[in-house]
Structure 1
Amino acid sequence: MAIKPITGMLRRGLITDLSLAMGLGLIFGNAFWYGYHVPRRDARDNYYKKLEGQRAARMGL
C-alpha cells in the first residue's frame, strides 16, 4: 500500500467544526441578544410608557 488509509480524520474534523459552529453561534447570539435586542426593547418600552403617561396626564387620569 503506497498511501496510508485515512481513518478518523473525518470524524475529528466534523466534531471540531460542529463544536466551533455551536460555540461561536452561542457567543454571537448572546452578543446580539444582550448587546442590541434587549437595549432596543427597553428603549421602545420606555418610549411607550412616556407616551402613555402623557396621554394619561392629558386625560386627567
Structure 2
Amino acid sequence: MASAAVAPAFKPITGMLRRGLILDLSIGLGLGFVFGNAFWYGYHMPRVNARDAHYRKLEEARAARQGN
C-alpha cells in the first residue's frame, strides 16, 4: 500500500485573514490595557487611598488616646 501525502487540515494563515487577526489582537490588547488602567487608577487606587486614610486616622486617634 502506497502512502499518500497527507494535506494539512487547514491552510496557513495568510493575506487578509492574517491582517484581520493581527488587527483584532492589537485592538483587543490595546483596549484591555486602556480599560485596565482606567479601572486601576480611576477606581482601585482612589479606594485603596481612602481605605488607608481611614485606618491611618483610626490609628492616630488610638495613639492619641493612649498618650503616645
TM-score, normalised on structure 1?
A: 0.85
Instruction: Note the 1:1-61 alignment, pairs <5 A.
Output: 8-61=15-68
Measured after TM superposition, the shift of residue 9 of structure 1 is 1.6
Q: Which runs of 5+ in 2 are unaligned?
A: 1-13
**1:4-48 superposed Cα distances (whole Å, 9 cap, x missing partner):** xxx512101110100000110011001000100110010000000
Q: Which residue of 2 aligns with 1:3?
A: none
Q: Percent identity?
A: 71
Q: Distance in 2 between matches of 1:30 and 1:54?
A: 35
Q: Which runs of 5+ in 1 are unaligned?
A: 1-6
TM-score, normalised on structure 2?
A: 0.77
Larger radius of gyration: 2
C-alpha RMSD of the superposition = 0.9
Greater helix percent: which structure?
Answer: 1
Q: Distance in 2 between matches of 1:15 and 1:56?
A: 58
